[in-house]
């Protein structure tokens, strides 16, 4: 990802680096100018014994000072312009990378399937978008600037010190500076490892916080606030401990680098001062030397800083790549076929178990879903009904020759194309913190009248019209301002507003009363003549008019047939139906 970005944007980085080097050259020349001014002032304040020369020399001195002062002001303006250029080129380009990386990461998250999200919670994923990408941005912005600046300034400062002042003095002074590289190599590894621990602990803290906020009503209703505060405190302390380790490492690292710089400054004063007194170097040269030494201390210190930034960036980039390198469990065939119309689905001896689970969720499933049919799927809790729905949607990897779509193996059918012909309403539906209209359309350009018609068919339009802004009422996070039944019916309208071939409802009316559910199903059947309807439900009364019903228990289809046929057989279906009928009567 980074290499591809740099290949496309290397010109901007090159312009920025050249602007940065130009600034450094301007800054490096300032001590030289100051040294010359000091030496000239020293020369003119001790002139030969001639009054005429003194008068001429005073005029020349003022002209010289004005000229060099103008040069210094010009260099300052050049530095101002150069800083603007490198900030726009380098930091601006890094911001473009941040935006591109967010888009790439977001696209990847949309590509991954439910199995991936079962292993990584939302808080951990959000930390990739925030902390980790910010650390990578610092590496590509401040890391590039500081490393370029430090490398060029350190080399050129040494050259200027030796060329314009004295190589012997320069050699003595830079010896302590060389030990900084040893310090940097050692602490760089420690910082990389420690920062990775910080990011990991922060991900866990973020994940727990996000889940707790989402479940705040459950936490309050069960009066477990104290317990959740303790769990939060435990994770917060672990994050603090990881951060304090990083603070400890930095607390040793930075002072050590500065102490080394101070040793060089001490040698400069001790040896350089002596050489100035003995006349081996001029006063101006001594002043310029210390100015260059001050410039050298910054790059040497900056090496420590840039190592810190780069190691943090590398640790964060590794975490980002953990997501980007994740592969969907369902592999798409490059030559997969697209569907123009979904006519029928055939399932033959389907077995399925989730990764890292030895238990089969589905065993020897045989099923036919034909065009225009009303199919019911019922069963005991945990019998595999929702897993079967996900397999039909190609959310789960299945063996070849187990599921066929229009006679083609599902593995040879494009998943996006397949799901484009199916409107799926899951058991654990979701509403965005937006208007009801946008929750139904999901950003698509769908006429308002069509949305109202879908809401009416779902049996919720009259209730929504009573809200302050009707279908343009904002529902809050996860639709919190609506009741459970209203949320479910809005999600059904989201499916109905789309012209597809198969409507798959996975127990999505559990929050409404049985009579309302029956009424909605009847309305759906009358509105969707010629469309295929698959209803997974635990309320069997709504399936009395179904063309075919499958009964699951323990991952197996133990019964199938029409309502009348299943009632005559006296199996599990009849037992469940009678139990519900008696319960409703009571």
User: Residue 165 maps to which CATH number?
Assistant: 1.20.1560.10
**What is the average per-residue pLDDT within 363-374?**
92
- Please list the residues that pair with 376 across neighbouring strands: 535, 549
309: nearest Cα among 152, 150, 141, 193? 141
Report whether pLDDT(583) > 60: no
Give the residue carrying structure tokens 């009422």: 473
Residue 403 located in a structural domain: yes
* Residue 307: predicted pLDDT: 76
Residue 544 located in a structural domain: yes
Contacts with 325 (C-beta within 8 Å, 6 or more apart), sequence order: none
Token pair listed for 224:
């477990």
Percent of the chain, pLDDT > 90? 11
Structure-model confidence comparison of residues 49 and 28, the more confident one: 28
Q: Is the same domain home to 476 and 361?
A: yes
Q: Rounded distance, CA 4 to CA 185, Å?
A: 28
The H-assigned helical ranges of 268-327 are: 273-277, 283-324
* Residue 586: predicted pLDDT: 45
* Residue 47: predicted pLDDT: 57
Q: What is the pLDDT of residues 493-541, one digit of tens each?
A: 888 888 889 999 887 777 667 777 777 777 777 777 788 999 988 888 8
Q: Rounded distance, CA 220 to CA 21, Å?
A: 60
* Residue 364: predicted pLDDT: 92
- Give the 3-state secondary structure of residue 558: strand
Q: Rounded distance, CA 136 to CA 311, Å?
A: 10
Domain count, the chain: 2
* Sheet with strand 403-405: strands edge to edge: 362-370, 344-352, 403-405, 408-409
Report whether pLDDT(270) > 60: yes
- Give the 3-state secondary structure of residue 573: helix
Q: What is the pLDDT of residues 463-490, one digit of tens each?
A: 888 888 888 888 877 777 788 778 888 8
Could you say which of 275, 296, 324 is where a domain stops? Answer: 324
Residue 354 located in a structural domain: yes
Q: Rounded distance, CA 139 to CA 137, Å?
A: 5
Q: Rounded distance, CA 301 to CA 181, Å?
A: 10
Q: Is the same domain home to 404 and 301?
A: no
For 360, the domain range is 344-585
pTM for the model = 0.67
CA distances from 508 to 480, 487, 521, 546 (A): 17, 10, 11, 17
Q: Rounded distance, CA 154 to CA 143, Å?
A: 16
DSSP labels, 314-364 = HHHHHHHHHHHT---SSPPPTTPBPPS---EEEEEEEEE--TT--S-SEEE
**What is the average per-residue pLDDT within 139-165?**
81
Q: Is the same domain home to 147 and 218?
A: yes
Report whether pLDDT(273) > 90: no
Q: Is the same domain home to 564 and 476?
A: yes
507: nearest Cα among 419, 395, 376, 418? 376
Instruction: Indicate the average pLDDT of the chain.
Output: 81
Q: What is the pLDDT of residues 65-112, one digit of tens each?
A: 677 677 767 777 877 888 888 888 888 888 888 888 888 888 888 888
pLDDT band, very low/low/confident/very high, at 52 (cuts 50, 70, 90): very low
170: nearest Cα among 261, 272, 24? 272
The CA radius of gyration of the chain, in Å to the nearest whole number, is 37
Residue 386 located in a structural domain: yes
* Residue 362: predicted pLDDT: 92
Residue 113 located in a structural domain: yes
CB burial string 101-118: b at 16+ within 10 A, e below: beebbeebbeebbebbee
Q: Is the same domain home to 497 and 428?
A: yes
* Residue 113: predicted pLDDT: 75
Q: Is the same domain home to 360 and 456?
A: yes
């Amino acid at each position: 990802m980074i290499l591809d970005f740099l290949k496309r944007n290397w010109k901007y980085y090159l312009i920025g680096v050249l602007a940065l080097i130009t600034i450094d050259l301007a800054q490096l020349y300032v001590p030289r100018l100051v040294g010359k001014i000091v030496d000239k002032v020293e020369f003119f304040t001790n002139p030969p014994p001639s009054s005429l020369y003194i008068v001429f020399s005073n005029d020349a001195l003022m002209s010289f000072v004005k000229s060099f002062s103008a040069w210094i002001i010009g260099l300052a303006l050049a530095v101002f312009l150069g800083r603007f250029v490198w900030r726009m080129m380098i930091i601006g380009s890094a911001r473009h990378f941040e935006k591109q990386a967010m888009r790439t990461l977001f696209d990847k998250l949309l590509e991954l399937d439910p199995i991936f999200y079962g292993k990584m919670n939302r808080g951990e994923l959000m930390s990739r978008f925030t902390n980790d990408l910010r650390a990578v941005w610092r590496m590509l912005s401040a890391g590039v600037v500081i490393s370029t600046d430090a490398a060029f300034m350190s080399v050129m400062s040494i050259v200027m010190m030796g060329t314009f002042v004295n190589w012997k003095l320069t050699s003595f002074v830079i010896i302590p500076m060389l030990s900084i590289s040893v310090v940097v190599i050692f602490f760089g590894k420690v910082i990389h490892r420690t920062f990775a621990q910080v990011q990991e602990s922060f991900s866990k803290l973020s994940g727990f916080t996000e889940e707790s906020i989402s479940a705040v009503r459950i936490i309050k209703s069960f009066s477990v606030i104290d317990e959740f505060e303790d769990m939060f405190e435990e994770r917060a302390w672990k994050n603090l401990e990881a951060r304090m380790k990083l603070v400890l490492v930095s607390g040793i690292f930075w002072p050590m680098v500065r102490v080394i710089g101070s040793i060089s400054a001490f040698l400069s004063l001790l040896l350089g001062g002596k050489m100035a007194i003995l006349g081996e170097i001029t006063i101006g040269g001594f002043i310029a030397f210390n100015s260059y030494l001050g410039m050298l201390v910054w790059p040497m210190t900056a090496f420590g800083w840039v190592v810190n930034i780069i190691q943090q960036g590398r640790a964060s980039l590794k975490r980002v790549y953990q997501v980007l390198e994740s592969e969907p469990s369902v592999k798409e065939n490059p030559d997969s076929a697209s569907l123009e119309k979904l006519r029928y689905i055939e399932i033959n001896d389907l077995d399925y178990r989730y990764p890292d689970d030895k238990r089969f969720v589905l065993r020897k499933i045989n099923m036919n879903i034909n065009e225009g049919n009303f199919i019911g799927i019922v069963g005991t809790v945990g019998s595999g009904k929702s897993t079967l729905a996900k397999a039909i949607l190609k959310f789960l990897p299945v063996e070849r020759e187990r599921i066929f779509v229009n006679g083609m193996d599902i593995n040879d059918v494009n998943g996006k194309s397949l799901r484009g012909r199916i409107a799926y309403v899951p058991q654990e539906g979701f509403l965005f913190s937006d208007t009801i209209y946008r929750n139904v359309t999901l950003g698509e350009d769908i006429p308002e009248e069509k949305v109202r018609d879908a809401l009416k068919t779902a049996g919720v339009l009259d209730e929504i019209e009573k809200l302050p802004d009707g279908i343009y009422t904002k529902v809050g996070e996860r639709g919190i301002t609506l009741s459970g039944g209203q949320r479910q019916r809005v999600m059904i309208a989201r499916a109905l507003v789309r012209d597809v071939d198969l409507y798959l409802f996975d127990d999505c009316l559990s929050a409404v009363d049985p009579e309302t559910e029956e009424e909605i199903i009847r309305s759906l059947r009358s509105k969707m003549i010629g469309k295929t309807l698959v209803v997974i439900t635990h309320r069997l009364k709504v399936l009395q008019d179904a063309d075919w019903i499958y009964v699951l228990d323990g991952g197996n289809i133990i019964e199938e047939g029409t309502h009348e046929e299943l009632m005559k057989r006296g199996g599990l279906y009849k037992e469940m139906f009678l139990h519900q009928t008696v319960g409703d009567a009571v």
